[in-house]
Amino acid sequence: MNRRPLLAAVAVAALTTLGLAPPIALAQDAWPSKPVKIVSPFPAGGTSDVMARMISQALSKELGQQFVVENIGGAGGTIGTLKATQAAPDGYTLIQTGVGQNAVAHGLDPKLAYDSMRDFIHVTQVHSGPNVLVVHPDQPFKTFQELVGYIRKNPGKMNYGYTHAASGHMAMELLKQVGGEGGRPLYIVGIPYRGGGPMMQDILGGQIPMMFINQDVALPHIRAGKLRALAVTSLQRNPLYPDVPTIAETGIKGYEALSWSGLSALKGTPKPIVDKLEAAMKKIMTSPEIKQRMESVGFVIPPQGSEPYTRFVKSEIELWTRVIKTAGIKAE
């Protein structure tokens, strides 16, 4: 008879009887006792990377252990996300989740190698920000209503730039589907770009008339008079653009298309670790320092905690899967 399992059980029972925590509980209480990795599934330098580094620095300070960002880019965030799901669920690998890799990706690939509702514990949402509908200043449109009115009367005569499956692309597809009249969609011609840099060059040069772009990226060009902002895609006006209306308030009720990210753990991560992480994130995200930093570039701090973030991810998967299926968009 192998006595080792029996002896281990007796030892744990003895610790419990004495009011002492068994080794696993002690390990969970001590978390983090070594550096923690946050996988950001996009290259360094973009908005996602900035958000990941912001929270890694704050968590390092709050929990007294180093949190390190590892960038694993490719395929709209799905490569890094899939790799992260293969790590041990011990609290030492966390994942930056977001609209592209955890909502849009499910619409593009029904057989995605991971399930964003099954394979993750969504700890809390970190940021939310709108896209801004911008036109080149040579365009005659001064308001969103003027632009949409022209498109409705002149189907197929207006075009826009987009990068495949990016938040701006999704925002435009949703607008096309809900912005027409009499049940008909808006007919606008899309011009695909391999990246945001070349697309920005072309709209600044007047080669394309309009596009959706993240609010933080758009701001310097709008302030310089090189682009004109017509509408934002959030339900509420953005503090960076107080005079720019939302699409919802212009008559397309309920329209909302957001760029967002959050922090998630792997399914199976012990609850005490998740609870400790959630409490730390709530404290960080409601601090005056983080609030000022986020609002200065037009980002909104969403409701904090696992429950609201889990509900939000589910709703975003449903929204973008429906939009993508209606538009017939396929993965590249």
Q: Please give the class, per CATH, of domain 130-250.
A: alpha beta
d(CA 332, CA 330): 6
The first and second tokens of residue 88, run together, are: 């041990």
What DSSP state is assigned to residue 44?
Answer: T
Task: For the chain, give every domain's residue range.
Answer: 35-128+259-327, 130-250
Is residue 133 within a helix (H) or strand (E), and if so which, with residue range? strand 120-135
d(CA 244, CA 114): 38
In sequence order, the β-bridge partners of residue 211 are 134
CATH architecture of 35-128+259-327: 3-Layer(aba) Sandwich (3.40)
pTM of the model: 0.89
* φ/ψ of residue 77, rounded to 5: 95, -5
Residue ranges of the chain whose pLDDT lies below 50:
1-12, 14-15, 21
State the pLDDT at residue 6: 44
pLDDT tens track for 21-71: 455 555 567 999 999 999 999 999 989 999 999 999 999 999 999 999 999
d(CA 324, CA 115): 17
d(CA 278, CA 158): 46
What are the DSSP calls for 100-122, one per residue?
A: IIIIIHHHH-TT-SS-TTTSEEE
Q: Which bin fits 165, alpha (ψ -120 to 50), beta or left (φ > 0)?
A: left
Is the fold of 35-128+259-327 the same as that of 130-250?
Answer: yes
E strands, 233-293, where? 258-266
d(CA 72, CA 240): 31
State the pLDDT at residue 183: 83
Instruction: For CA atoms 100, 104, 106, 110, give the dihedral sign.
Output: negative
d(CA 262, CA 55): 10
Q: Which of 137, 128, 295 is nearest to 230 (CA)?
A: 137
d(CA 159, CA 167): 17
State the pLDDT at residue 4: 43
State the pLDDT at residue 26: 55
State the pLDDT at residue 29: 74
